[in-house]
């Protein structure tokens, strides 16, 4: 059983829906969701713990339950954006990228059925489109799409945004319920000879509207880094007005990525220091 003072909580899968060939929406309810705080950030996320198949552990679990557990049975932490929180019904929606039969989180979503439990803590997150700027620059891949969509949906009708989202192809595009004036460009990996360049090249060749803007660019680490280098180095973007974050790294598991992330971020900061 879990310690009483823990910040962890769990929900049960209410429904699972395939939004695109590689995007799975899981709605959680019941469990301890009545205690969930929600967040004003449009990139709010939970730190969920995925129990590997074959592990004897079941949510809710606490530190005592993990003592002496074989490494391959230990729950794996992964961050996932809150696509929607319904504070009346206590329902939490998460959209998972299904990226093959690898890893723990994406494969969990592919197997999920009603009644399955997911334990998590949070929420974290810090971005919300500023009401003090003339327009918003938004970009990323499908892992950032839940935050991108939540951010765009939070914009009032008079706001203006330019957005770029990288997905495999047209059948991976999703609707956004936007009130604002949003120029959204979908970038397709399947028809590109260099998919990792799609986002940086789209941003660097974009004609920016006049006026002040804020930035939200999250997604694959190499792509995000290239966009940052351009925005800060070439367009003079002040990083205090920019939320630029690598969510995952191609070919790295989340564990391997977290091991090198600090060094990567330090190197990334040096990308734009004039020599
Ligand atoms: C704050 C935050 C919010 C996030 N929100 C979301 C979200 O809402 N939805 C979402 O799907 N992801 C989101 N991510 C990214 C997600 O946490 C990572 O993609 C994570 O690595 C997935 O874990 P996994 O166990 O499925 O795969 P892992 O075990 O981490 O990786 C296994 C293999 O799959 C590859 N891989 C991992 N992610 C992807 C991907 N997206 N596309 C293609 N290959 C991949 C890895 O490089 C590795 O080769 C978020 C990350 C952060 C930091």
Residue 249 Cα to ligand 1 midpoint, Å, equals 8
Q: What is the pLDDT of residue 22?
A: 97
CA distances (Å), origin 108, targets 48, 97, 104, 117: 11, 11, 6, 11
Q: What is the pLDDT of residue 2?
A: 54
Residue 248 Cα to ligand 1 midpoint, Å, equals 6
Write out pLDDT tens, residues 47-79. Answer: 999 999 899 999 999 999 999 999 999 999 999
Which one of 49, 53, 74, 97 would you pick to mutate in the ligand 1 pocket, going by the greatest count of ligand atoms within 8 A of its CB? 97
Write out pLDDT tens, residues 10-22. Answer: 999 999 999 999 9
Separation of alpha carbons 271 and 254, rounded Å: 23
Residue 34 has pLDDT above 80, yes or no: yes
The set of protein residues with a Cβ atom below 6 angstroms from ligand 1 is 45, 78-81, 95-97, 99, 102-106, 143, 146, 247-248, 250-254
Separation of alpha carbons 159 and 185, rounded Å: 17
- Average pLDDT score over residue span 159-166: 98
Find out whether 204 and 230 touch, Cβ atoms under 8 Å.
yes
Structure tokens at 202: 């789209």
Separation of alpha carbons 89 and 6, rounded Å: 23
Q: What is the pLDDT of residue 273?
A: 84
Separation of alpha carbons 198 and 268, rounded Å: 19
> How do beta strands 213-220 and 91-97 pair?
unpaired
Phi-psi region of 266 (alpha: psi -120 to 50; beta: other; left: phi over 0): alpha
| Smallest CA separation from ligand 1 atom 4, residue | 80
Q: What is the pLDDT of residue 252?
A: 98
Write out pLDDT tens, residues 66-123. Answer: 999 999 999 999 999 999 999 999 999 999 999 999 999 999 999 999 999 999 999 9
Classified as helix, coil or strand, 64 is helix
Find out whether 254 and 248 touch, Cβ atoms under 8 Å.
yes
Average pLDDT, the chain: 96
Residue 207 Cα to ligand 1 midpoint, Å, equals 31
Classified as helix, coil or strand, 48 is strand
- Average pLDDT score over residue span 245-261: 98
Residue 132 has pLDDT above 60, yes or no: yes
In which band, very low, low, confident or very high, does the pLDDT at 127 lie, cut at 50, 70 and 90? Answer: very high
Furthest-apart CA pair in the chain: how many Å?
59
Write out pLDDT tens, residues 173-214. Answer: 999 999 999 999 999 999 999 999 999 999 999 999 999 999
CA distances (Å), origin 86, targets 33, 96, 151: 10, 18, 16
Residue 5 has pLDDT above 90, yes or no: no
| Smallest CA separation from ligand 1 atom 23, residue | 105
Which one of 143, 168, 244 would you pick to mutate in the ligand 1 pocket, going by the greatest count of ligand atoms within 8 A of its CB? 143
Residue 240 Cα to ligand 1 midpoint, Å, equals 26
- R_g (Cα) of the chain, nearest Å: 19
- Ligand 1 nearest-atom number relative to CA 249: 47
Q: What is the pLDDT of residue 4?
A: 45
> Please, what is the angle between helix 221-228 and helix 254-270, to 10°?
10
- Average pLDDT score over residue span 226-242: 96
């Amino acid at each position: 059983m879990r310690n009483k003072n823990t910040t962890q909580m769990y929900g049960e899968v209410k429904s699972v829906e395939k939004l695109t060939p590689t995007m799975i929406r899981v709605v959680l309810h019941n469990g301890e969701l009545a205690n969930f705080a929600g967040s004003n950030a449009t990139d709010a996320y939970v730190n969920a713990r995925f129990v590997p198949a074959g592990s004897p552990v079941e949510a809710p679990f606490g530190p005592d339950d993990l003592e002496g557990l074989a490494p391959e049975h230990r729950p794996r932490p992964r961050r996932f954006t809150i696509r929607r929180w319904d504070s009346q019904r206590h329902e939490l929606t998460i959209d998972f990228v299904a990226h093959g039969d690898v890893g723990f989180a994406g494969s969990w979503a592919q197997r999920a059925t009603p009644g399955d439990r997911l334990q998590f803590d949070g929420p974290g997150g810090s971005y919300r489109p500023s009401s003090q700027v003339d327009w918003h620059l938004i970009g990323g891949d499908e892992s950032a799409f839940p935050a991108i969509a939540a951010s765009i949906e939070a914009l009032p009708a008079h706001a203006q945004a330019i957005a770029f989202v990288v997905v495999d192809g047209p059948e991976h595009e999703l609707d956004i319920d936007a009130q604002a004036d949003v120029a959204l460009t979908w970038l397709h990996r399947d028809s590109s000879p260099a998919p990792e360049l799609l986002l940086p090249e789209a941003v660097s060749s974009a004609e920016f509207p006049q006026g002040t803007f804020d930035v939200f660019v999250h997604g694959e680490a190499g792509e995000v880094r290239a966009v940052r280098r351009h925005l800060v180095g070439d367009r003079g973007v002040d990083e205090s007005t920019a939320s630029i974050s690598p969510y995952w790294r191609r070919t790295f598991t989340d564990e391997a990525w977290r091991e090198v992330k600090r060094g990567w971020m330090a190197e990334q900061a040096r990308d734009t220091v004039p020599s």
